[in-house]
Amino acid sequence: MPLIPDDTLESIHRLNRAYLHAARDGLRAGQERLIEGLFGLDTALRNWLLSASPETIEQLAVMPGLVFQARFPSDVEPLLSACTEKPLRDVAELQLLLHQLGDGEQPELAGSR
């Protein structure tokens, strides 16, 4: 395996930290279903995060690879088109496109009422 450039590795660590801390904070705030759906958590990671200290999260975050994976619908073209068009679409429309990612309830967007 080739060496990972330092700036790439730092970016990976920063993304991992943000993902893990945001997921843990949401779980601890009682938003289990929302966080499991948004973050794609399995039971093992969910349970681990509930009791993880900042130090243990740091140990996982500094792995030389992402601890999460992008999830896109099988037909990603409508989503990509919506994101590359002029900003005529609002966030709620993009959320509907992302609904294809999951099979559960989708989160309500702030300010969408």
What digits encode the pLDDT tens for the residues 24-53? 999 999 999 999 988 999 999 999 999 999
Report domain extents, the chain.
Answer: 6-61, 70-113
> Where does the pLDDT of residue 7 fall: very low under 50, low under 70, confident under 90, or very high at 90 and above?
very high
Q: Note the pTM of the prediction, 2 decimals.
A: 0.71
Report the alpha-carbon distance of residue 94 to residue 79 in Å, rounded. Answer: 7
Place of tokens 């300010």: 111
Q: How far apart are CA 72 and CA 52, in angstroms?
A: 28
Confirm if 64 and 9 have CB atoms less than 8 A apart. yes
